[in-house]
Structure 1
């Protein structure tokens, strides 16, 4: 006699969830936005460990793109604007900028000195140097160098991949040269891994002085400024690995125009050449030597033409193909290179005081040395090696998976 089949119970019908390999979890998570991942840190211990690992945060950077513009206003709170403005014309287009809280700048003036990988470097007028990640709302107070002159100092900020370290360089200030008797600039470098300043040899001090209100721009292991030499503008570069200054040859200009702006667009170093009141050219280089004209912008088609070439600050291209720009005393506009016309994106109060930063959300936050786990360097190194192997394996696995899918 056949044995009767037992009646399935509800518990036996419940599917057992499959456990994904950790390498695939990492592969999925590194493609998600930062704000989502911040919530996922609370899912379990293994996810928290992964999402706080420096290797993961650096890997995540390669899957993120600029998402917003942060506007610093010297004596007011920071504002955040979306990077992808509504393409529909609108006579009253203000997109309601969001205020970013940073209580340390209350009742103090401040300058943004540089930005890199989602981190902003600030000097507050009380003499404090701050490293701030607005996305995860974390900041770190940094030590100050000797004879520090607060917001009038010139600082550059960037990432040194050769040592996996973020560095700040103190450069000569034109304000300090003008206002301080016997000003003798001393080049110093702050390593965030060591949290201490080092003086560089006197031979590394460049014979140029930089305007203190300028931001530095980071690209490919170096920081850049635009400065002046005998009424001629030049590009000054500081190599973060070699810790040395050099001049970058400017783009060729047959009519002898000066550069009036410097920045980073589409992972290229860019400068602006203005032709009197009618138009300006933006030139770009990726190797500091070979320049190509990126775009010509005709100024007279602005909604309310602004003729001073010093008033234009190109920011980035958006999905519509338009060039987003800031115009002093006005706000933000989008320039359509095909139609050669502009539209207003945001009219802002106190626009003449703005500093604009094209910002990418990130997890990056260099901890102070005392906060880093130093319980056995060999075990820490082993953990990092294993993490690198896992992430490398996941990349190879996903590439192979994609290849098979395409082949089928």
Structure 2
């Protein structure tokens, strides 16, 4: 018995010594340092940043010099434009006030939503548009509010094309996210000889150039000749416009929803005389117009039609007071490939009064999403995902006027200084001291957008 106790005691002593020795050996090893973002490759960091909303990317520029340099690179700005989801710019409408403030609405992907997050639309900080006559704001002479309003023509890769409401002679291209803008050259002596039709901004991938098209109708005396069209093209970074030959077979008097895809600009071409419509296309490489059919449509007098681009595809949305239909062109340029991907019948009897309706997410694999301005209430809009069949109604608060307008826009970081590089073009910034001037008639920004 005594030997047994001695044996056990000896065994326990050896065990304690073994544990102590092992602990000493482990403690003698240097602790493994935790990794940091600095250890990640630039490729991994770039992929992470490309997934973030524009607001978060702007914040990331302040993290360190390395990230600031990476995000400021033109190559990153181009990549971000290619990955950016379609959002919307919201601006209040008031005939007595100057509406310079834009609010960005971004769709929030599911992978960035929290489990308890009920909102899928981000209401980001406001951005400013330039004034049309910024130099005149220092003059004591009163002027009308409409003298400083810009109309938003279209959006392309994060850049906006702006024009005066009743002419396409005074044009501006800006990036509202970073505040840069340029004023395009004006044509002299044409105010009384041409009637404006439309203008639009587009991008030519092969040459990496941004171009603006504007169209006029020639006037002889007091008569506008509908068959004499003048088309001019301007390349950003140059100082002139040049004429583009137009095939006489193409006739257009009313164009809408300018959209750039596949290196070409597209419009909905309305033929009011024959009560028909088609898609008019201008290819930047060939500098030629072509036309292809639009989806079959009902002859409804109060039909609202919009066209947008999502993931390289053309979409057309038709809406009336009590119906909404979304068409997708699956094969570019093929009229027979128009496919109806959504119809208001999908609501299964849910009453809804449709205003302007636009798709905001690509309809594939049962997905897709719509943004609808409610006709019953001019100060609200509706976000709807057919896959989940859930409506989310948002109310616009804080506006003097309840009316507002939505513009399709994919936010980007492309700098106009890089776009016009090499050209003797002045790039101004709306946030500079001179451009910060506030006119007495300027509209207040919205306080918030809340979910009802």
TM-score of the two chains, using structure 1 as the length reference? 0.67
Aligned to 1:59: 79
After superposing the two structures, state which structure 1 stretch, 68-77 or 215-224, moved more.
68-77
**Aligned partner (choices 309, 314, 332) of residue 358 of structure 2:** 314
Once residues 384 and 45 of structure 2 are traced to their aligned partners in structure 1, the CA distance between those partners, rounded to angstroms, is 41
**Aligned partner (choices 370, 377, 381) of residue 323 of structure 1:** 370
1:142 Cα offset (Å): 1.6
Does 1:332 find its partner at 2:376?
no
**Aligned partner (choices 144, 167, 177) of residue 135 of structure 1:** 177
1:70 Cα offset (Å): 3.2
Aligned to 1:357: 407
Aligned to 1:382: none
Q: How does 1:95-244 map to 2 (within 5 A)?
A: 99-104=126-131, 107=145, 108-124=148-164, 128-145=170-187, 147=190, 153-172=197-216, 181-182=223-224, 184-203=228-247, 206-211=250-255, 214-229=256-271, 230=273, 231-244=275-288
1:41 Cα offset (Å): 5.2
Report how many residues are paired: 347
**Aligned partner (choices 375, 380, 395) of residue 346 of structure 1:** 395
**Contact map agreement 2:202 2:264 (CA 8 A) in 1:** yes
Once residues 277 and 369 of structure 1 are traced to their aligned partners in structure 2, the CA distance between those partners, rounded to angstroms, is 42
The alignment partner of 2:277 has SS state of strand
1:119 Cα offset (Å): 0.9
**Contact map agreement 1:112 1:355 (CA 8 A) in 2:** no
Once residues 68 and 190 of structure 1 are traced to their aligned partners in structure 2, the CA distance between those partners, rounded to angstroms, is 26
1:104 Cα offset (Å): 0.9
Aligned to 1:270: 315
After superposing the two structures, state which structure 1 stretch, 341-350 or 60-69, moved more.
341-350
After superposing the two structures, state which structure 1 stretch, 21-30 or 187-196, moved more.
21-30
Q: How does 1:36-115 map to 2 (within 5 A)?
A: 36-38=56-58, 50-71=70-91, 73=93, 75-84=98-107, 99-104=126-131, 107=145, 108-115=148-155
User: Structure 1 residues 67 and 355 mapped into 2: Cα distance closer, same or farther (>3 Å)?
Assistant: closer
Once residues 368 and 418 of structure 2 are traced to their aligned partners in structure 1, the CA distance between those partners, rounded to angstroms, is 41
**Contact map agreement 1:301 1:342 (CA 8 A) in 2:** no
1:38 Cα offset (Å): 4.2
TM-score of the two chains, using structure 2 as the length reference? 0.62
Once residues 159 and 77 of structure 2 are traced to their aligned partners in structure 1, the CA distance between those partners, rounded to angstroms, is 13
1:198 Cα offset (Å): 1.2
Aligned to 1:377: none
Aligned to 1:398: none
**Contact map agreement 2:316 2:326 (CA 8 A) in 1:** yes
Q: Relative to total residues, which structure has the larger strand share, 1 or 2?
A: 2
**Contact map agreement 1:188 1:200 (CA 8 A) in 2:** yes
The alignment partner of 1:104 has SS state of coil
The alignment partner of 1:136 has SS state of coil
1:20 Cα offset (Å): 6.1
Mark the structure with the bigger radius of gyration. Answer: 2
- Aligned-CA RMSD value: 4.6
**Contact map agreement 2:197 2:254 (CA 8 A) in 1:** no
1:363 Cα offset (Å): 0.9
Once residues 130 and 52 of structure 2 are traced to their aligned partners in structure 1, the CA distance between those partners, rounded to angstroms, is 29
**Contact map agreement 1:323 1:334 (CA 8 A) in 2:** yes
The alignment partner of 2:86 has SS state of coil
1:241 Cα offset (Å): 2.1
Once residues 38 and 293 of structure 1 are traced to their aligned partners in structure 2, the CA distance between those partners, rounded to angstroms, is 38
Structure 2 gap segments, 5+ residues each: 1-31, 135-144, 425-452
Once residues 98 and 78 of structure 1 are traced to their aligned partners in structure 2, the CA distance between those partners, rounded to angstroms, is 10
User: Structure 1 residues 33 and 99 mapped into 2: Cα distance closer, same or farther (>3 Å)?
Assistant: closer
**Contact map agreement 1:95 1:345 (CA 8 A) in 2:** no
Once residues 124 and 80 of structure 2 are traced to their aligned partners in structure 1, the CA distance between those partners, rounded to angstroms, is 26
1:169 Cα offset (Å): 0.8
User: Structure 1 residues 327 and 158 mapped into 2: Cα distance closer, same or farther (>3 Å)?
Assistant: farther
User: Structure 1 residues 60 and 345 mapped into 2: Cα distance closer, same or farther (>3 Å)?
Assistant: same
1:208 Cα offset (Å): 1.0
User: Structure 1 residues 19 and 71 mapped into 2: Cα distance closer, same or farther (>3 Å)?
Assistant: same
